[in-house]
């Protein structure tokens, strides 16, 4: 899953990020409400974690605007306050869960996993293209019933490709969605990872699923 954390306390944000990445999630972090709102409304996320008290736009404002735009991504609110009215306001605006500071990062991680499972549902927890299967909950991958061992980054890369079979992803798009960073345009990082993934997924199979679109990028062929 890809998670957005909007939290202005950098130490807390760092602890959350470390825990979530250890669980195999891809994490974006923003320390400012305006930037967090831009991330939340222009990038795809499976769960968004919003601190209510933020510089710039506050968490409730971000949540309100997301719901007004018809965005249904699960949102978990973080607050240092314990007043019932604030929690009720957040839930009425469309928050899916909340935690009051201080909290255990392990509990936050468990709640995020639960929100992701609830949003995906069983139908979306399994991605299948031809004889290639990826389970989002168990993080198991197989091809023709042959288990495939992937690193966390390889898993996320394959997931992004499998969510949009036939769509060509440019190297820049893959860098943003899988690594969440800007790299030197001349870097061959994407090419190296795609080659590793192709070797594991396609192997000696007569039908190659991962394709290179020369001069553009990569895609996974076949129908879901």
**DSSP of 113-157:** HHHHHHHHHHHHHEEEETTEEEETTTTEEEETTEEE---HHHHHH
| In this structure, CATH architecture of domain 2-121 | 3-Layer(aba) Sandwich (3.40)
Q: Measured between alpha carbons, how far apart are the two ends of the chain, in Å? A: 19
- CATH fold for the domain made of 130-220: Arc Repressor Mutant, subunit A (1.10.10)
Tell me the pLDDT of the chain averaged across its residues: 86
What is the residue extent of each domain of the chain? 2-121, 130-220
The tokens of 208 are what?
């190659």
- Confidence (pTM): 0.56
Q: Which residues contact 31 (CB under 8 A, 6 or more apart)?
A: 6, 7, 8, 10, 13, 55
For residue 224, give the 3-state DSSP assignment. Answer: coil
Closest by CA to 166, choosing from 90, 204, 203, 217, is 217
Instruction: Report pLDDT digits (tens) over 3-53.
Output: 999 999 999 999 999 999 988 889 999 999 999 999 999 888 999 999 999
Instruction: Report pLDDT digits (tens) over 91-148.
Output: 888 888 888 888 889 889 888 988 887 766 544 567 888 899 998 777 889 998 899 9
């Amino acid at each position: 899953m890809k998670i957005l954390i909007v939290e202005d306390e950098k130490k807390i944000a760092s602890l959350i990020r470390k825990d979530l990445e250890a669980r195999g999630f891809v994490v974006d972090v923003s320390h400012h409400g305006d930037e967090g709102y831009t991330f939340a409304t222009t990038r795809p996320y499976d769960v968004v974690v919003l601190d209510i008290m933020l510089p710039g736009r506050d968490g409730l404002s971000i949540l309100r605007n997301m719901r007004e735009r018809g965005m249904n991504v699960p949102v978990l609110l973080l607050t240092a306050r314990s007043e019932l009215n604030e929690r009720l306001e957040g839930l009425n605006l469309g928050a899916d869960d909340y935690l009051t500071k201080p909290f255990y990062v392990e509990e936050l991680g468990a709640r995020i996993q639960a929100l992701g499972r609830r949003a995906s549902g069983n139908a979306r927890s399994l991605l299948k293209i031809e004889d290639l299967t990826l389970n989002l909950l168990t993080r198991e991958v197989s091809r023709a019933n042959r288990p495939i061992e992937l690193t966390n980054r390889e898993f996320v890369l394959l997931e992004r490709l499998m969510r949009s079979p036939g769509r060509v992803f440019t190297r820049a798009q893959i860098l943003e969605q899988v690594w969440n960073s800007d790299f030197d345009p001349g870097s061959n990082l994407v090419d190296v990872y795609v080659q590793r993934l192709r070797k594991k997924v396609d192997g000696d199979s007569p039908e190659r699923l991962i394709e290179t679109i020369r001069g553009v990028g990569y895609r996974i062929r076949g129908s879901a």
